[in-house]
Chains A and B, each alone.
Chain A
Amino acid sequence: MSNERFKLHPISAAVNFLKGLKDLIFPFIFIFVVNGFQGDSYEGGHWTDFVPYIVGFLVLAFILSSGIIKWKRFVYWFEEDELRIEYGLFVKKKRYIPFERIQSLNYTESILHRPFKLVKVTIETAGSGSAKEAEAELTAITRENAKRIEAEMAMAKKRKANILNDEAISMENQIHEPNTTVPIFKMSVKDLIILATTSGGIGVVFSGVAVFMSQFSDIIPYEKIYDEFVVFLKFGFFIVAISIFVFLFVAWIISVILTTLNYYQFTIVQDNDQIILTRGLLEKKRVSIPIGRVQGIRIVENPLRQLFGYCTVIVESAGGSLEDQDKKIRLFPLVKKSEIKQPLNKLFADFDFEPAWTTSPNEAKPFYYRLDFLWMLPVIAAVSYFYYPYGLLSLLLIPIVLLLGLWQHHSAGFSLHRNQLSLRYRGISKYTFFIEKKRMQSLEMTQSPFQQRKSLASIETTIKSGMFGATAKVDHLKVEDIEKVMTWYEPSGHEVIEKGQPH
């Protein structure tokens, strides 16, 4: 085995620098804005006026040099079936990652990377409990070198297989070009636009603008604006309506742009035991999910999307690190629900995505809205009393909550199918969970005295997702159904049902 040591591409110094800058951008803006507004009042001031600039300059120089040092000191190499990384100036750190522990290699190409044909490689390991152990990041390496890591991994696997049994399983197809496989799913431009329109993205843009406004509330002369606003109101309803429309339109455009940047050319490719997702316009991202690590599949339909027959498919995968919240991977950011079955079955052959549902019984209906009246009635009474005529509008809450409750009742259900448990429930969006028995970490049945009177109960199961768990809970099902699930889940109970079956 070659003990050749690899360095990162010099551009990674620039990437480090920019990353450092990004972390400091708010303090910086603060310094310069504050200083800019006070310091210019007189000329040729005292030397202390320049202190902020000097500090700023020093900080900049520090970030720049630390970026360069980070790049200079970083080496990685392959040895004894491990990826070994060494970095750090004063405190030398070494991280050895055995190939078999590497779960996936994720590639990101930012605008800085692309002209030089570089990629950022994030190495994900199956974190075995401790959060720190996982994860390594190669800030910028050439695509060939990235390929090389894959090749080394495949070779190590092959060696291992050869040791295990000499009838070497043809591992040839382990080394491969992922590009050659046929994509399972591609997102069209139309889908992109629908995604942008129905996502929370618009809300984010709204709040973003609001936050931005509040950040600069000292600088923006609100009172002046307010006075003008009153004048503006006099202009008439028409103009107000138009400007609201324009505002919404702009928010929508921004949302479309952001979505396009993120999800442009979203493609799913299956590559042996990995699912590979590529996306992005300026920053290209390539994420791979080992199919064996998938803990469960979740289909989410928010009401707006459900109306048009669209849904989102999320994959819960184990492992990863603490900081990485992105473990709930959107497998299909947006897809017609009617077209979902085939690609999903192709990826997850063991699952049944259209099981027969057992729904919540009729007598459970009141349970879905009854409790809400506890908070609703006092709120409505108070609002109606204090804001008398208009406050009565709060009465509208009753039908809304009632209908939502009935809708939740309609959505609630479960299904047992061989080794698969499917749970369906609704908060506001509808969730459909598909979980294999071997992925369920625990199963819990809860029953309140009220439920007991009507022989109802709720069921909850937790699977591993990222470092923590993801929980699915269906309320108010029949007790006997839930007990059936409990017996199905119980290893000893299972044997009672299917007598003679060893495991």
Chain B
Amino acid sequence: MRKEPINQISPKGLKVWRLYGLMHSAIIWLLVIGAGVLNWWLEGPWWVMVICVVLPILYTYIFVYLFPKLRWLRWRYEVREQEIELQHGLFVVKRTLVPMVRVQHVDTEQGPILRRYDLASITISTAATNHTIPALITSEADELRSRISTLARVAEDDV
């Protein structure tokens, strides 16, 4: 078996994903409460009420607890001298290899929520593909960015 890449992303990234999950769970809750009230007012069948309770709880569990956790546990990356290796996915595990020679540029990005947690995402672009490592501590991301761009400049074509 191939070894997993060494580095994990920041634990704070898990928090941010949970926050995202909470945000759309909140929307689902609002919709469901609306539907429940409507149902009660129109004296609809009882099982609608059951759905109205079970569905958002399930949704919240999946998107706030389960999925972020699985995703976070799965996420690995490793920047070696000559290549970058990523591993991510929820159920389907994706492992990506990007040779340093193919790297064209590296960007870091930080939205308002990521900034609050002092996180940034880093995007590695080749001529045809983009690969993003989400949620790294800002200073780490900056360091990684400059490291990759130095390595990419040094890397020689082997063909």
Contact = CB atoms under 8 A, between A and B. Distances in A.
A325 interface: no
Given A463-B128, A492-B80, A442 B96 contact: yes
Interface in A460-489: 462-465, 468-470, 483, 486, 489
A440 to B, nearest CB: 8
B126 interface: yes
B158 A465 contact: no
A334 interface: no
A446 B94 contact: yes
Interface stretch (B28-36, B45-53, B85-93, B134-142): B85-93
Contacts, number: 85
B94 A462 contact: no
Nearest to B131: A442
B145 to A, nearest CB: 18
Interface stretch (B6-14, B19-27, B57-65, B97-105): B97-105
A479 B31 CA distance: 45
A93 interface: no
B102 A441 contact: yes
B99 A491 contact: yes
A292 to B, nearest CB: 13
Interface string A316-350: 00100000000000000000000000000000000
Most chain A CB within a 10 A radius of its CB, from B80, B156, B159: B159
B4 interface: no
Given A442-B96, A486-B95, A503-B156, A491 B128 contact: no
Interface string A437-456: 11011111111110010000
A470 B128 CA distance: 8
Interface residues of A, number: 32
B127 A464 contact: yes
Given A446-B89, A446-B94, A486-B2, A441 B128 contact: yes
Contacts of A469: 127-129
Interface in A263-321: 318
A82 interface: no
Given A441-B129, A442-B126, A494 B81 contact: no
B83 A490 contact: yes
B82 interface: yes
Contacts of B43: none
Contacts of B156: 503
A438 B98 CA distance: 12
A26 to B, nearest CB: 35
B143 interface: no
A462 B128 contact: yes
A445 B95 contact: yes
A105 B155 CA distance: 33
Contacts of A318: 127
B119 to A, nearest CB: 24
Contacts of B158: 438, 491, 494, 503
17 contacts: A438-B157, A441-B128, A442-B96, A442-B97, A442-B102, A444-B94, A444-B96, A446-B89, A446-B92, A464-B128, A483-B1, A486-B2, A486-B95, A489-B97, A491-B83, A491-B99, A491-B100
Interface of A: 129, 318, 419, 436-438, 440-449, 452, 462-465, 468-470, 483, 486, 489-492, 494, 503
Question: What are the nearest 9 A-B pairs in CB distance?
Answer: A469-B128, A491-B82, A438-B159, A441-B126, A464-B128, A464-B127, A441-B128, A503-B158, A448-B92
